[in-house]
């Protein structure tokens, strides 16, 4: 299918269209819009005829792999508090952090020409062109390492029937403190599941090695290296992933990617076994929580508290109410409020219920 990438003149479009390879650069810094654009290209463009390199940067975001558990991979409550979206991509693999100091590159090609090492060679060559002394090499698992020890790029891929894409990150000047903080889970130790685990690695920014390197220079160098492979030279074409006219159906894809049911609801079944400290008459005591979650909904739940903190009957009733609801803060708030309305409690017990609700929500 032929696709007008932007509202450029017909001549320009035809010229772009006839090329065997084209570089597209996103006008958006929204993770969901950019992931939707990848999906859209994958579904609508005939990559047998020509290859595409799509480049974008995103505002801070955590991007998990298709078969991962967000609660295991990142600090979901912290991300929420900071307004950092968690996105689930369609490709497999591990979790990475994005911000405007991180460049994302997506290489679309036919399945026949799908070659991740070749794509990564384009990237490492471009980097060496900008900074000849840079020690950058792709590994067997398709990471790019700086000085043989620091990861600057991670890879994931999606193979279709005829077409495929390989996407990778490139750390230029990302916020490493925020990267570590968001990728440190608050409850990973208590989670049991067979979701794909990430492979944590020490990371570094290219800018720390060579202060002259920045995202724009890196994107430009990768684009020329990519074009050089086709014997071409041209500027990247700017595309707008919110343009429904040029990309019919893209809004719906964006909405699907943003939905809680996709990001959190698609988590492979898991159990969480954890405990938290609560104050009991000036001394600390522990409450245990065990939940089984399937398709984002709580299937089993048990709350165990010392009798003098919360009566066992109350714990049982609450656990019962939690079963069937979704593993997310808004659902918990509704349950705790409904419980207190139906069972008025002493001021002390009501206070304890609020504490319990806060502790449970802080895990979600």
CA distances (Å), origin 317, targets 2, 276, 288, 303: 59, 19, 15, 10
Strands 61-64 and 96-98: antiparallel
- Which of these ranges, 195-203, 260-268, 290-298, 348-356, lies near ligand LAQ under the rule CB under 6 A? 195-203
Q: Which own/partner pairs from 317-326 qualify as long-range (CB within 8 Å, at least 24 positions apart)?
A: 317/343, 318/356, 322/291, 322/298, 323/298, 323/299, 324/297, 324/298, 325/297, 325/298, 326/260, 326/264, 326/265, 326/296, 326/297, 326/298
Chain centre distance of CA 81: 16
Q: Which of 94, 163, 190, 329 binds ligand LAQ (CB under 6 A)?
A: 94
Q: Which stretch binds ligand LAQ (CB under 6 A): 89-97, 254-262, 284-292, 317-325?
A: 89-97
| 258: contact with ligand LAQ by CB under 6 A | no
159: contact with ligand LAQ by CB under 6 A: no
The only residue of 70, 93, 190, 241 in contact with ligand LAQ, by rule CB under 6 A: 93
Interacting residues with ligand LAQ between 268 and 287 (CB under 6 A): none
Q: Which of 28, 169, 185, 205 binds ligand LAQ (CB under 6 A)?
A: 169
Among 26, 198, 205, 225, binds ligand LAQ (CB under 6 A): 198
Q: Contact with ligand LAQ (CB under 6 A): which of 43, 189, 200, 338?
A: 200
Q: Does 241 bind ligand LAQ (CB under 6 A)?
A: no
Q: 318-340 in b/e burial notation, b at 16+ Cβ within 10 A?
A: bbebbeebbbbbebbeebbeebe
Among 102, 185, 225, 254, binds ligand LAQ (CB under 6 A): 102
- Residue from the set 97, 108, 114, 227 that interacts with ligand LAQ by CB under 6 A: 97
Can you tell me the distance from the alpha carbon of 219 to that of 226, in angstroms, rounded to the nearest whole number? 10
Q: Rule CB under 6 A: is residue 254 a binding residue for ligand LAQ?
A: no
Binding ligand LAQ (rule: CB under 6 A), the pick from 42, 88, 151, 247 is: 151
Asked if 238 interacts with ligand LAQ (CB under 6 A), we say no
CB of 324 to ligand LAQ, least distance (A): 33
With 0-12 / 13-18 / 19 or more C-beta atoms within 10 angstroms meaning exposed / middle / buried, residue 117 is exposed
Tell me the C-alpha distance between 361 and 334, whole Å. 12
Q: What are the residues binding ligand LAQ (CB under 6 A)?
A: 63, 89, 93-97, 102, 104, 151, 153-156, 167-169, 171, 179, 183, 198-201, 203
């Amino acid at each position: 299918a032929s696709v007008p990438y932007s509202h450029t003149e017909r001549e320009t479009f035809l010229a772009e269209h006839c090329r065997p390879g084209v570089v597209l650069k996103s006008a958006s810094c929204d993770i969901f819009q950019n992931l939707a654009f990848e999906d859209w290209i994958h579904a609508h463009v005939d990559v047998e005829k020509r290859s595409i390199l799509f480049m974008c940067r995103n505002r801070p975001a955590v991007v998990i792999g298709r078969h991962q558990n967000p609660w295991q991979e990142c600090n979901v409550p912290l991300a929420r508090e900071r307004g950092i979206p968690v996105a689930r991509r369609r490709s497999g693999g591990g979790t990475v952090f994005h911000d405007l100091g991180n460049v994302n590159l997506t290489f679309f090609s036919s399945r026949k020409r799908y070659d991740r090492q070749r794509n990564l060679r384009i990237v490492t060559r471009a980097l060496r062109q900008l900074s000849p002394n840079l020690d950058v090499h792709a590994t067997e698992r398709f990471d790019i390492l700086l000085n043989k020890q620091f990861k600057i790029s991670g890879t994931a891929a999606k193979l279709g029937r005829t077409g495929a894409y390989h996407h990778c990150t490139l750390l230029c000047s990302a916020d490493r403190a925020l990267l570590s903080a968001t990728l440190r889970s608050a409850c990973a130790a208590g989670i049991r599941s067979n979701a794909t685990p990430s492979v944590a690695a020490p990371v570094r920014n290219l800018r720390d090695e060579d202060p002259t390197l920045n995202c724009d220079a890196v994107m430009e160098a990768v684009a020329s290296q990519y074009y050089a492979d086709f014997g071409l030279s041209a500027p990247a074409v700017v595309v707008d992933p919110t343009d429904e006219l040029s990309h019919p159906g893209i809004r719906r894809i964006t909405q699907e990617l943003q939905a809680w049911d996709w990001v959190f609801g698609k988590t492979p079944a898991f159990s969480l076994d954890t405990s938290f400290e609560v104050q009991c008459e000036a001394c600390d005591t522990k409450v245990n929580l065990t939940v089984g979650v399937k398709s984002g909904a709580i299937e089993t739940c048990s709350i165990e508290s010392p009798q003098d903190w919360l009566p066992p009957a109350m714990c049982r009733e609450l656990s019962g109410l939690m079963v069937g609801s979704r593993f997310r803060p808004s659902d918990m708030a509704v349950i705790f409020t409904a419980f207190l309305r139906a069972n008025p409690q002493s001021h002390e017990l009501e206070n304890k219920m609020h504490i319990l609700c806060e502790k449970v929500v802080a895990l979600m």
